Amino acid sequence: MIHYRTDSEIELLRKAALLVGKTLGEVGKHIRPGIRTIELDKIAEEFIRDHGAIPAFKGYEGFPGSLCISVNDAVVHGIPGNYELRDGDIVSVDCGTILDGYVGDSAYTFTVGEVSEEIKLFLQRSKESLYKGIEQAVSGNRIGDIGYAIQSYVEQFGYGVVRELVGHGVGRKMHEDPQVPNYGKRGTGTKLSEGIVIAIEPMITFGKNDIIQERDGWTIKTKDRKPAAHFEHDVAVRNGKAEILSSFEWIEGNQ
């Protein structure tokens, strides 16, 4: 069932989403070679709780962290732990908050120290694919238009789009209808209309798009062990247009 949100609900969703953006900005300040991913998780959890919110991921289906931290060939759902970030790593940080009963959910892939030019380009293009998808989130378009835009943009560079994991509606629950695949055909799927709020989250692979799940039961990795990127925004269809509720300004202001 798809929920159509009122203006006041969208404002609450924006507050939760902006807190995610601020949390990711705070985490980003601490990303450097030598820091353990569990330390980043602690920083995020404290920051979220200090702002009167609950980390949405903590305990979600038993997930132990407040962040999903996925390094290099990990695509998504990495568990924070003792791994120390290294120069040249890329690290995807996915964060969720529940503030006043509404969920924010956003993700960003950071660089650690110096990364190669081809990886920088890969990250730029993966992020750009998110905005290509968002451009399509307007009244009258369909879910397939979003996936088509993301897929056709990244595949021209030889990158892959993960199929098994998708974006989603976001509201009082983290995962609501509709599903929002990062691939698809134009003009197919659910029609977008006023008040729909979705998390658009391309998961892009540098090599092939096949994935495997680690024995920890959570971490999703690329089968070919090549890097993957993940960028996510919460987007409301409002006044016929795509309105981004989350923000990377706290991340990119200090990178």
Distance CA 196, CA 193 (A): 6
Applying CB under 5 A, which of residues 13, 137, 162, 199 lies at the interface with Mg ion? 199
Amino acid identity of residue 203, one-letter, is: M
Residue 55 in contact with residue 33, Cβ under 8 Å? no
Single out the residue of 10, 43, 99, 107 in contact with Mg ion (rule: CB under 5 A): 107
Q: Figure out which of the listed residues 105, 145, 176, 234 binds Mg ion, where binding follows CB under 5 A.
A: 105
Distance CA 162, CA 160 (A): 7
Percent of residues in the chain assigned helix, strand, coil, to nearest 5: 30, 30, 40
Q: Which is nearer to Mg ion, 96 or 160 (by Cβ)? A: 96
The edge-to-edge listing of strands for the beta sheet with 220-222 is: 74-76, 220-222, 211-213
Stretch that binds Mg ion, among 81-89, 143-151, 194-202, 242-250 (CB under 5 A): 194-202
> Which stretch in 42-50, 88-96, 108-116, 177-185 sits in contact with Mg ion by CB under 5 A?
88-96
Does position 176 interact with Mg ion (CB under 5 A)? The reply is no
Q: Interface residues for Mg ion in 223-252 (CB under 5 A)?
A: 232
Nearest Cα neighbor of 30 from 60, 76, 2, 69 is 69
Contact flag: residue 73 with Mg ion (CB under 5 A): no
Of 26 and 201, nearer to Mg ion (C-beta) is: 201
| Nearer residue to Mg ion within complex by CB, 72 or 109 | 109
Determine the Cα–Cα distance for residues 202 and 162; give it in Å rounded to an integer.
8
Q: In whole angstroms, what is the distance from residue 155 CA to residue 165 CA?
A: 17
Q: Which stretch binds Mg ion (CB under 5 A): 92-100, 153-161, 177-185, 233-241?
A: 92-100
What is the contact surface with Mg ion in residues (CB under 5 A)? 94, 105, 107, 199, 201, 232
